[in-house]
Structure 1
Amino acid sequence: MDGRFTDEELAIAKSVDLCAVAESLGYTVRRIGKYHTLKEMDSIRIYNRSHWFRWSRQFDKGSNGGSQIDFLRVFCGMSVKDAVFWLLDFAGYRRIESREKQPLIHQVAQKRTEERKSFVLPEPAGDNSYLISYLNNERGISRTVIDLFLKGGLIYESRHYHNVVFKGNDKNGVTRFASMRGVFDKQGKPFKCDVVGNDKKYGFNVVNVKSTELVVFEAAIDLMSYVDIFTDYESNKLALGMLADAPLETFLKEHPQIASIRFCLDADEPGRKAASELMKKYYELGYDVEDCPPPAGYKDYNEWLVATKLNLSGPGKKAINHARA
């Protein structure tokens, strides 16, 4: 399909209700006076239901606001092209092309913005070969750990596009949240997006009701990398999927045995700021807390794992052996 868009198509994409887009992605939209905000990211301001701004100075220029397209680009990791296609689909638009290059035919669903899409998991692929190849060869995660998560039903490969799907279950094992990670990103920006209609009060997690320890990460792949590095199959683990702590609040409510929390957030500025704020909050709530970022020189646990397995410069295996000392 041609990636070029007509002025009409771009106008349709930018006419979609941004509040409805955010809700369909699992965010909780709240109205405050003349603007809307998100419960999960209260620094976000949505104006006229069409454009947004983030009142925070910790993020790079170019990620602080814009249109519906920019929202999907920043928070779902989409390219501009993918974001426009997503918005056109959301609006009920259908592009029809033929050899005779007939005019585009489309339908825009009325009142679509008032609806919230249902949460439906992507259809599984026949096998998990692309998933295994990506996680093992590109992200350095061992087959032992990959097989553990596959057998536990926590990850699988989608039939369409072969994305890795990470499932976030509630205490009863019902999947409430799911995110996707593309496996074909060697030459371009990675595809990352939450499944439409998910509940952002949940995150990708591993539960052990006999353990009182919870280890918290930003991303699911960092959680798996941690398991590989430390062969930790005992503690509870949670990937927030963001820097807001709604999934952590939910996990603690559903698993009241938790007494200690180890924060393994990224080593970049947003991750360090979030770790500091969350450490303070949960210490004051009575939990034992510990800040456990990756060793100096690594942004996250997966970067640490990959560097170690490839014997790249940096703390490497020595750091792994002494990380808990």
Structure 2
Amino acid sequence: MDMEGTTMKKGMPFSKEQISRANRVNLIDFAKSNGYILENGGRRALHAKQSGGLYFFKDNNKYYHFSTDTHGGPIDFVMQFWNMEFKKAVAYLLESELPQYQPTSQPVKEQGQLVLPEKAPNFRRVAWYLIHVRGIDPEIVSCLMHEKKLYQDKSGNCVFVGYDHEGMVKYCSLRGTRLEHPFKQDRPYSDKSYPFHIVGNSHKVYVCESPIDAMSHATLAKLASQDWKTDHRISLGCLSDQALKRFLHYYPNIAEIVFFLDNDKDATFQNGSPAPNWGQEAALNFVKKYLDLGYTSVIATPVTEDLNGDLLAYHNIIHNKERCGTLDYGIEL
């Protein structure tokens, strides 16, 4: 879906120049003015929170939506996310008083290198945050720190690291630990096709959206008296399967894939109308794709919004049952 090449049709109430002007409305400014919360999504893009893997590109005034595999410019965006027909989308954009997108000269493509943030003298804040705020098991936190997949930077952020098969750093994602100032960001030159990986030794992989979700699932397994080191767990970092494809290339013995993506059951569009359940729609598309490729593929859905929400809810149940003296450790994974 891309209306860039739209031409004047018979009876069309807009001229070519008006259509072109609508498609030159600055898409990032438009998204911000309509309530999208944008964060760094890499050198070229901004990521919209809780929007099913929605990215806006700074250098071409376009967007890409991973959940639906759709892309385009401002007109396409309004048609898709405001559910408008073409004429209404053009009129809506023309009525906005936002600045026009000003293309910049294309710089020579940089061959930059991912640089990890400097480590803090100790990792106490990250350990406190993951164990006491997020409910992650201390052994799992300690193990990942020992494997250099998790540490604390000098700003107190969680740093999650992904490697290639030769142990070279390829992916780095930061997560803030200050509850009053939520923060999440990928480092420049970070490659999302290299997953954050909790290593296992079985033929099964659990696919999660974030590193904290992967750690939460490992914790739930341990709480259920399972060996959390048996199965592989990876995080996609978004709703693209690039990281899964690379993982499967590195681990050809994998036979079963469990998609444990977010349950965005309460998602809404910017106008407040119900939006699709982005995480589960992506999981459904992935299951079909990987079944066709010969893998045993299934969907597991969090009861709450995500796996960390499930873990925190479980801790709360345990706490309440301990107080009442009716402890039951049954967990379904």
- Following superposition, the deviation at residue 142 of structure 1 comes to 2.0
Equivalent of 2:229 in 212, 229, 233? 233
Q: Secondary structure at the match of 2:330?
A: helix
Matches within 5 A, 1:279-290: 279-290=287-298
CA distance in 1: counterparts of 2:233 and 2:257, whole angstroms: 10
Q: Secondary structure at the match of 2:212?
A: helix
Q: Percent identity?
A: 28
Aligned twin of 1:291: 299
CA distance in 1: counterparts of 2:320 and 2:281, whole angstroms: 24
CA distance in 1: counterparts of 2:254 and 2:313, whole angstroms: 32
The answer on 1:323 being equivalent to 2:332 is yes
Q: 1:39 to 1:58 in 2, by over 3 A?
A: closer
Q: Which consecutive unaligned segments of at least 5 residues does structure 2 have?
A: 1-27, 30-39, 48-52, 84-104, 223-227, 265-276
Aligned twin of 1:275: 283
Q: 1:323 to 1:58 in 2, by over 3 A?
A: farther
Q: 1:320 to 1:223 in 2, by over 3 A?
A: farther
What letter matches 2:198 in structure 1?
V
CA distance in 1: counterparts of 2:234 and 2:41, whole angstroms: 27
CA distance in 2: counterparts of 1:314 and 1:272, whole angstroms: 30
CA distance in 2: counterparts of 1:158 and 1:45, whole angstroms: 37
- Following superposition, the deviation at residue 239 of structure 1 comes to 0.3
Matches within 5 A, 1:145-156: 145-156=140-151
Q: Is 2:42–2:188's contact at 8 Å kept on the other side of the alignment?
A: no
Matches within 5 A, 1:35-74: 42-45=69-72, 53=77, 56-57=80-81
CA distance in 1: counterparts of 2:283 and 2:328, whole angstroms: 21
- Following superposition, the deviation at residue 167 of structure 1 comes to 0.6
Matches within 5 A, 1:6-21: 21=43
Q: 1:54 to 1:318 in 2, by over 3 A?
A: farther
Q: Is 1:24–1:116's contact at 8 Å kept on the other side of the alignment?
A: no
Aligned twin of 1:128: 123
Q: Is 2:42–2:187's contact at 8 Å kept on the other side of the alignment?
A: no
Q: Secondary structure at the match of 1:251?
A: helix
Aligned twin of 1:261: 257
CA distance in 2: counterparts of 1:170 and 1:58, whole angstroms: 40
- Following superposition, the deviation at residue 114 of structure 1 comes to 4.4
Aligned twin of 1:170: 164
CA distance in 2: counterparts of 1:40 and 1:54, whole angstroms: 17
Q: Is 2:195–2:235's contact at 8 Å kept on the other side of the alignment?
A: yes
CA distance in 1: counterparts of 2:319 and 2:282, whole angstroms: 28
Q: Is 2:43–2:189's contact at 8 Å kept on the other side of the alignment?
A: no
CA distance in 1: counterparts of 2:111 and 2:77, whole angstroms: 23
Q: Which consecutive unaligned segments of at least 5 residues does structure 1 have?
A: 1-12, 60-109
Equivalent of 1:307 in 313, 321, 331? 313
CA distance in 1: counterparts of 2:194 and 2:138, whole angstroms: 26
CA distance in 2: counterparts of 1:281 and 1:130, whole angstroms: 40
Aligned twin of 1:72: none
The answer on 1:203 being equivalent to 2:165 is no
Q: Root-mean-square deviation (CA), in Å?
A: 3.9
CA distance in 2: counterparts of 1:168 and 1:52, whole angstroms: 34
Q: 1:111 to 1:274 in 2, by over 3 A?
A: closer
Q: 1:275 to 1:20 in 2, by over 3 A?
A: closer
Q: TM-score of the superposition, structure 1-length normalised?
A: 0.65
What letter matches 1:265 in structure 2?
L
Q: Secondary structure at the match of 2:311?
A: helix
Q: Secondary structure at the match of 1:223?
A: helix
- Following superposition, the deviation at residue 22 of structure 1 comes to 1.7
Q: 1:226 to 1:52 in 2, by over 3 A?
A: same
Aligned twin of 1:221: 212
Aligned twin of 1:141: 136
CA distance in 1: counterparts of 2:328 and 2:262, whole angstroms: 16
Structure with higher Rg: it is: 2
Q: 1:243 to 1:314 in 2, by over 3 A?
A: farther
Q: 1:39 to 1:157 in 2, by over 3 A?
A: same
Paired residue total: 247
What letter matches 2:306 in structure 1?
D
Matches within 5 A, 1:99-138: 114-115=109-110, 117-138=112-133
Q: Secondary structure at the match of 1:21?
A: coil
- Following superposition, the deviation at residue 45 of structure 1 comes to 3.2
Q: 1:260 to 1:319 in 2, by over 3 A?
A: farther
